[in-house]
Amino acid sequence: PGYISTRRRDYRSGGVGRVPAGIGSRRLRIVVTGGAGFVGSHLVDMLIGRGNEVIVIDNFFTGRKDNLVHLFGNSRFELIRHDVVEPILLEVDQIYHLACPASPVHYKYNPVKTIKTNVMGTLNMLGLAKRIGARFLLTSTSEVYGDPLEHPQKETYWGNVNPIGERSCYDEGKRTAETLTMDYHRGAGVEVRIARIFNTYGPRMCLDDGRVVSNFVAQAIRKQPLTVYGDGKQTRSFQYVSDLVNGLVALMDGEHVGPFNLGNPGEFTMLELAQVVKETIDSSATIEYKPNTADDPHMRKPDISKAKELLNWEPKVPLREGLPLMVNDFRNRILNEDEGRGM
Protein backbone atom coordinates (compact mmCIF):
# COMPACT_ATOMS: atom_id res chain seq x y z
CA PRO A 1 0.00 0.00 0.00
CA GLY A 2 1.08 3.54 -0.65
CA TYR A 3 2.31 5.88 1.99
CA ILE A 4 -0.80 7.96 2.64
CA SER A 5 -0.22 11.52 3.67
CA THR A 6 -2.99 13.73 4.98
CA ARG A 7 -0.81 16.79 4.69
CA ARG A 8 -1.25 18.83 1.61
CA ARG A 9 0.95 21.71 0.75
CA ASP A 10 -0.06 24.94 -0.86
CA TYR A 11 2.90 25.22 -3.13
CA ARG A 12 2.06 28.73 -4.35
CA SER A 13 2.36 30.24 -0.88
CA GLY A 14 4.93 27.77 0.39
CA GLY A 15 2.62 27.11 3.34
CA VAL A 16 1.75 23.74 4.81
CA GLY A 17 -1.85 23.08 5.67
CA ARG A 18 -3.77 20.24 7.25
CA VAL A 19 -6.60 18.90 5.15
CA PRO A 20 -9.15 16.30 6.21
CA ALA A 21 -8.08 12.72 5.54
CA GLY A 22 -9.52 11.60 2.24
CA ILE A 23 -9.45 14.91 0.44
CA GLY A 24 -5.71 15.47 0.30
CA SER A 25 -4.74 11.83 0.62
CA ARG A 26 -2.04 10.94 -1.81
CA ARG A 27 1.27 9.21 -1.97
CA LEU A 28 4.37 10.69 -0.41
CA ARG A 29 6.50 12.23 -3.17
CA ILE A 30 10.24 12.06 -2.65
CA VAL A 31 13.29 13.46 -4.43
CA VAL A 32 16.53 11.51 -4.29
CA THR A 33 19.49 13.53 -5.58
CA GLY A 34 22.32 11.24 -6.69
CA GLY A 35 19.73 8.48 -7.07
CA ALA A 36 21.52 6.88 -10.03
CA GLY A 37 24.56 6.17 -7.85
CA PHE A 38 25.42 3.23 -5.64
CA VAL A 39 23.60 4.12 -2.39
CA GLY A 40 20.94 6.24 -4.10
CA SER A 41 19.71 3.48 -6.39
CA HIS A 42 19.26 1.08 -3.46
CA LEU A 43 17.39 3.77 -1.54
CA VAL A 44 15.13 4.39 -4.56
CA ASP A 45 14.35 0.66 -4.76
CA MET A 46 13.29 0.70 -1.11
CA LEU A 47 11.09 3.81 -1.51
CA ILE A 48 9.42 2.54 -4.69
CA GLY A 49 8.97 -0.84 -2.99
CA ARG A 50 6.97 0.72 -0.16
CA GLY A 51 4.72 2.67 -2.54
CA ASN A 52 6.23 6.16 -2.70
CA GLU A 53 6.56 8.36 -5.78
CA VAL A 54 10.24 8.97 -6.47
CA ILE A 55 11.98 11.60 -8.58
CA VAL A 56 15.69 11.07 -9.12
CA ILE A 57 17.94 14.02 -9.94
CA ASP A 58 21.36 13.00 -11.24
CA ASN A 59 24.03 14.37 -13.59
CA PHE A 60 25.50 10.86 -14.16
CA PHE A 61 28.99 11.91 -13.10
CA THR A 62 29.47 8.65 -11.20
CA GLY A 63 25.92 7.29 -11.42
CA ARG A 64 24.55 5.06 -14.18
CA LYS A 65 21.15 4.57 -15.78
CA ASP A 66 21.84 0.84 -15.50
CA ASN A 67 21.31 1.14 -11.74
CA LEU A 68 17.71 2.26 -12.32
CA VAL A 69 16.78 0.69 -15.65
CA HIS A 70 14.53 -1.87 -13.91
CA LEU A 71 12.30 1.05 -12.81
CA PHE A 72 11.87 2.63 -16.26
CA GLY A 73 8.20 2.40 -17.15
CA ASN A 74 7.07 2.46 -13.50
CA SER A 75 4.51 5.26 -13.25
CA ARG A 76 5.72 6.21 -9.76
CA PHE A 77 9.31 6.74 -10.95
CA GLU A 78 10.89 9.69 -12.76
CA LEU A 79 14.51 10.36 -13.71
CA ILE A 80 15.80 13.89 -14.40
CA ARG A 81 19.27 14.59 -15.78
CA HIS A 82 20.20 17.68 -13.79
CA ASP A 83 23.20 19.10 -11.98
CA VAL A 84 22.34 20.15 -8.40
CA VAL A 85 24.75 23.07 -8.70
CA GLU A 86 21.95 24.68 -10.76
CA PRO A 87 18.61 25.62 -9.17
CA ILE A 88 15.54 23.50 -9.85
CA LEU A 89 11.80 23.82 -9.20
CA LEU A 90 9.91 20.75 -7.97
CA GLU A 91 7.04 19.97 -5.60
CA VAL A 92 7.77 17.15 -3.17
CA ASP A 93 7.40 16.12 0.49
CA GLN A 94 10.90 14.85 1.22
CA ILE A 95 14.39 15.41 -0.22
CA TYR A 96 17.13 12.83 0.26
CA HIS A 97 20.25 14.75 -0.78
CA LEU A 98 22.96 12.28 -1.86
CA ALA A 99 24.38 13.96 -4.98
CA CYS A 100 28.17 14.07 -4.58
CA PRO A 101 30.95 11.76 -5.72
CA ALA A 102 31.92 9.56 -2.77
CA SER A 103 35.06 7.71 -3.79
CA PRO A 104 38.36 9.57 -3.21
CA VAL A 105 39.39 8.91 -6.83
CA HIS A 106 36.17 10.51 -8.12
CA TYR A 107 36.00 13.45 -5.73
CA LYS A 108 39.66 14.38 -6.31
CA TYR A 109 39.19 14.22 -10.12
CA ASN A 110 37.69 17.72 -10.17
CA PRO A 111 37.95 19.10 -6.63
CA VAL A 112 36.41 22.47 -7.45
CA LYS A 113 33.36 20.70 -8.89
CA THR A 114 33.19 18.53 -5.77
CA ILE A 115 33.10 21.50 -3.41
CA LYS A 116 30.60 23.32 -5.64
CA THR A 117 28.39 20.24 -5.53
CA ASN A 118 28.64 20.12 -1.74
CA VAL A 119 28.09 23.83 -1.15
CA MET A 120 25.98 25.15 -4.04
CA GLY A 121 24.19 21.83 -4.56
CA THR A 122 23.24 21.59 -0.90
CA LEU A 123 22.24 25.28 -0.82
CA ASN A 124 19.91 24.77 -3.79
CA MET A 125 18.28 21.69 -2.26
CA LEU A 126 17.82 23.54 1.05
CA GLY A 127 16.33 26.51 -0.83
CA LEU A 128 13.97 24.07 -2.52
CA ALA A 129 13.06 22.47 0.83
CA LYS A 130 12.39 25.91 2.32
CA ARG A 131 10.15 27.03 -0.55
CA ILE A 132 7.95 23.93 -0.57
CA GLY A 133 8.09 22.98 3.13
CA ALA A 134 9.76 19.64 2.42
CA ARG A 135 11.83 17.65 4.88
CA PHE A 136 15.52 17.54 3.89
CA LEU A 137 18.05 14.79 4.66
CA LEU A 138 21.78 15.35 4.11
CA THR A 139 24.05 12.36 3.56
CA SER A 140 27.16 13.58 5.28
CA THR A 141 30.14 11.38 5.98
CA SER A 142 32.45 9.97 8.62
CA GLU A 143 35.13 12.02 6.80
CA VAL A 144 33.92 15.05 8.79
CA TYR A 145 35.93 13.49 11.65
CA GLY A 146 39.09 13.71 9.47
CA ASP A 147 42.02 11.71 10.88
CA PRO A 148 40.24 11.24 14.20
CA LEU A 149 41.92 11.70 17.55
CA GLU A 150 38.95 10.12 19.32
CA HIS A 151 38.17 6.43 18.76
CA PRO A 152 35.51 5.21 18.16
CA GLN A 153 33.92 8.42 16.91
CA LYS A 154 30.83 9.83 18.61
CA GLU A 155 28.66 12.51 16.99
CA THR A 156 29.88 14.99 19.63
CA TYR A 157 33.48 14.78 18.28
CA TRP A 158 34.35 17.86 16.20
CA GLY A 159 36.99 16.20 14.08
CA ASN A 160 40.58 16.65 12.98
CA VAL A 161 40.43 17.85 9.38
CA ASN A 162 43.05 19.40 7.10
CA PRO A 163 41.35 22.43 5.50
CA ILE A 164 43.83 22.70 2.61
CA GLY A 165 44.56 19.08 1.73
CA GLU A 166 43.60 16.91 -1.25
CA ARG A 167 40.59 15.50 0.60
CA SER A 168 39.32 18.91 1.76
CA CYS A 169 36.99 19.43 -1.22
CA TYR A 170 35.08 16.44 0.12
CA ASP A 171 35.41 16.56 3.89
CA GLU A 172 35.34 20.33 4.31
CA GLY A 173 32.64 20.40 1.61
CA LYS A 174 30.49 18.03 3.68
CA ARG A 175 31.23 19.99 6.86
CA THR A 176 29.97 23.14 5.13
CA ALA A 177 26.94 21.21 3.89
CA GLU A 178 26.19 20.26 7.52
CA THR A 179 26.56 23.91 8.53
CA LEU A 180 24.17 25.05 5.80
CA THR A 181 21.70 22.36 6.83
CA MET A 182 21.69 23.49 10.46
CA ASP A 183 21.50 27.18 9.47
CA TYR A 184 18.42 26.56 7.29
CA HIS A 185 16.95 24.59 10.17
CA ARG A 186 17.59 27.25 12.82
CA GLY A 187 17.16 30.28 10.57
CA ALA A 188 14.38 29.28 8.19
CA GLY A 189 12.62 26.51 10.11
CA VAL A 190 13.39 23.84 7.49
CA GLU A 191 12.88 20.30 8.82
CA VAL A 192 16.26 18.65 8.43
CA ARG A 193 18.06 15.37 9.11
CA ILE A 194 21.81 14.68 9.02
CA ALA A 195 23.37 11.24 8.52
CA ARG A 196 27.12 10.70 8.88
CA ILE A 197 27.72 7.64 6.77
CA PHE A 198 30.67 5.31 7.34
CA ASN A 199 32.25 3.19 4.57
CA THR A 200 29.49 1.30 2.78
CA TYR A 201 29.72 -1.48 0.20
CA GLY A 202 27.47 -3.68 -1.89
CA PRO A 203 26.23 -4.42 -5.41
CA ARG A 204 26.28 -1.53 -7.94
CA MET A 205 29.41 0.14 -6.58
CA CYS A 206 31.42 1.42 -9.55
CA LEU A 207 33.84 -1.31 -10.57
CA ASP A 208 36.86 0.95 -10.73
CA ASP A 209 36.01 3.72 -8.31
CA GLY A 210 39.17 3.11 -6.32
CA ARG A 211 37.45 2.39 -3.01
CA VAL A 212 39.04 -0.44 -1.13
CA VAL A 213 36.15 -2.94 -1.14
CA SER A 214 35.36 -2.50 -4.84
CA ASN A 215 39.07 -2.63 -5.69
CA PHE A 216 39.75 -5.84 -3.75
CA VAL A 217 36.61 -7.61 -5.01
CA ALA A 218 37.26 -6.66 -8.66
CA GLN A 219 40.95 -7.55 -8.34
CA ALA A 220 40.19 -10.97 -6.83
CA ILE A 221 37.69 -11.73 -9.61
CA ARG A 222 40.13 -10.56 -12.31
CA LYS A 223 42.91 -12.66 -10.76
CA GLN A 224 44.97 -9.55 -10.06
CA PRO A 225 46.88 -8.88 -6.82
CA LEU A 226 44.94 -7.03 -4.08
CA THR A 227 46.49 -3.56 -3.77
CA VAL A 228 47.08 -2.69 -0.11
CA TYR A 229 48.05 0.96 0.41
CA GLY A 230 50.67 1.77 3.04
CA ASP A 231 51.29 -0.92 5.65
CA GLY A 232 47.66 -2.09 5.53
CA LYS A 233 47.25 -1.53 9.29
CA GLN A 234 44.89 1.43 8.90
CA THR A 235 41.31 0.51 9.85
CA ARG A 236 37.82 1.10 8.49
CA SER A 237 34.39 -0.18 9.51
CA PHE A 238 32.36 -1.56 6.63
CA GLN A 239 28.58 -1.41 6.37
CA TYR A 240 26.40 -3.36 3.94
CA VAL A 241 24.22 -1.10 1.82
CA SER A 242 20.82 -2.48 2.92
CA ASP A 243 21.64 -1.60 6.53
CA LEU A 244 22.46 1.96 5.47
CA VAL A 245 19.24 2.33 3.47
CA ASN A 246 17.20 1.18 6.48
CA GLY A 247 19.04 3.72 8.63
CA LEU A 248 18.45 6.59 6.19
CA VAL A 249 14.72 5.88 6.02
CA ALA A 250 14.44 5.52 9.82
CA LEU A 251 16.21 8.87 10.18
CA MET A 252 14.08 10.66 7.58
CA ASP A 253 10.81 9.34 8.99
CA GLY A 254 11.82 9.79 12.64
CA GLU A 255 11.68 12.85 14.86
CA HIS A 256 15.35 13.59 15.39
CA VAL A 257 17.57 16.00 13.47
CA GLY A 258 20.88 14.31 14.23
CA PRO A 259 23.64 14.16 13.22
CA PHE A 260 23.60 10.37 13.45
CA ASN A 261 26.48 8.02 12.70
CA LEU A 262 25.24 5.31 10.33
CA GLY A 263 27.83 2.57 10.08
CA ASN A 264 28.77 -0.92 11.16
CA PRO A 265 31.08 -0.87 14.18
CA GLY A 266 32.89 -4.03 12.96
CA GLU A 267 36.44 -2.66 12.47
CA PHE A 268 39.01 -4.21 10.11
CA THR A 269 42.56 -3.41 9.04
CA MET A 270 43.02 -3.38 5.26
CA LEU A 271 45.07 -6.59 5.61
CA GLU A 272 42.17 -8.22 7.46
CA LEU A 273 39.77 -7.05 4.76
CA ALA A 274 42.08 -8.56 2.11
CA GLN A 275 41.92 -11.83 4.06
CA VAL A 276 38.09 -11.82 4.07
CA VAL A 277 38.08 -11.13 0.31
CA LYS A 278 40.48 -14.04 -0.22
CA GLU A 279 38.27 -16.37 1.83
CA THR A 280 35.18 -15.21 -0.08
CA ILE A 281 36.47 -15.14 -3.66
CA ASP A 282 39.90 -16.66 -4.23
CA SER A 283 42.13 -18.11 -1.54
CA SER A 284 45.13 -17.94 -3.90
CA ALA A 285 44.88 -14.15 -4.36
CA THR A 286 48.14 -12.32 -3.61
CA ILE A 287 48.80 -8.92 -2.06
CA GLU A 288 50.73 -6.05 -3.61
CA TYR A 289 51.77 -3.10 -1.41
CA LYS A 290 51.44 0.42 -2.84
CA PRO A 291 52.18 3.86 -1.35
CA ASN A 292 49.26 5.31 0.62
CA THR A 293 47.45 8.48 -0.41
CA ALA A 294 47.86 11.85 1.38
CA ASP A 295 45.97 12.53 4.63
CA ASP A 296 44.60 9.00 4.81
CA PRO A 297 42.78 8.57 8.16
CA HIS A 298 44.55 5.97 10.31
CA MET A 299 41.43 4.49 11.87
CA ARG A 300 37.71 4.85 11.77
CA LYS A 301 34.90 3.18 13.70
CA PRO A 302 31.46 4.56 14.50
CA ASP A 303 29.95 4.77 17.94
CA ILE A 304 26.33 4.08 17.04
CA SER A 305 24.72 4.30 20.49
CA LYS A 306 22.78 7.42 19.49
CA ALA A 307 21.18 5.81 16.41
CA LYS A 308 20.43 2.65 18.40
CA GLU A 309 18.68 4.60 21.12
CA LEU A 310 16.82 7.28 19.15
CA LEU A 311 16.22 5.62 15.77
CA ASN A 312 15.98 2.07 17.05
CA TRP A 313 18.42 1.20 14.26
CA GLU A 314 21.48 -0.98 14.08
CA PRO A 315 23.21 -2.80 11.22
CA LYS A 316 22.36 -6.48 10.75
CA VAL A 317 24.82 -7.70 8.10
CA PRO A 318 28.40 -8.48 9.17
CA LEU A 319 31.22 -8.19 6.58
CA ARG A 320 31.54 -11.93 6.06
CA GLU A 321 27.83 -12.14 5.14
CA GLY A 322 27.69 -8.94 3.11
CA LEU A 323 30.74 -9.42 0.89
CA PRO A 324 29.39 -12.55 -0.85
CA LEU A 325 26.22 -10.58 -1.70
CA MET A 326 28.15 -8.28 -4.05
CA VAL A 327 30.28 -10.86 -5.80
CA ASN A 328 27.76 -12.00 -8.44
CA ASP A 329 26.97 -8.43 -9.46
CA PHE A 330 30.70 -7.70 -9.84
CA ARG A 331 31.36 -10.96 -11.70
CA ASN A 332 28.55 -10.24 -14.20
CA ARG A 333 29.67 -6.70 -14.88
CA ILE A 334 33.34 -7.70 -15.26
CA LEU A 335 32.27 -10.46 -17.66
CA ASN A 336 30.22 -7.99 -19.71
CA GLU A 337 33.16 -5.58 -19.85
CA ASP A 338 35.47 -8.34 -21.05
CA GLU A 339 32.96 -9.41 -23.70
CA GLY A 340 32.60 -5.76 -24.77
CA ARG A 341 36.35 -5.67 -25.31
CA GLY A 342 36.21 -8.93 -27.26
CA MET A 343 38.11 -10.87 -24.59
Residue 7 within binding range of ligand UDP, rule CB under 6 A: no
User: Pick the catalytic residue: 170, 184, 201, 240?
Assistant: 170
How far apart, in whole angstroms, are the C-alpha atoms of residue 195 and residue 178?
Answer: 10
CB 279 within 8 Å of CB 240 = no
151 contacts which partner out of ligand UDP, ligand NAD, none, CB within 5 to 8 A by kind? none
Min dist CB 114 to ligand NAD, Å, is 8
Least distance from ligand NAD to the Cβ atom of residue 337, Å:
18
Q: Among residues 9 and 322, whose Cβ is nearest to ligand NAD?
A: 322
Half-sphere CA count of 256, side-chain side, radius 13 A: 17
CB of 175 to ligand UDP, least distance (A): 15
184 in active site: no
Binding string, residues 89-128; x marks residues near ligand UDP by CB under 6 A: x--------------x------------------xx--xx
At closest approach, how far in Å is the CB of 40 from ligand NAD? Answer: 5
Kindly list the residues in this chain that would bind ligand NAD in the complex (CB under 6 A).
Answer: 33-34, 36-40, 57-63, 83-85, 98-102, 106, 117, 121, 139, 141, 197, 199-200
Binding positions for ligand UDP, rule: CB under 6 A: 87-89, 104, 123-124, 127-128, 130-131, 199, 211-212, 215, 227-229, 234, 236, 270, 292-293, 296
Residues assigned a catalytic role:
170
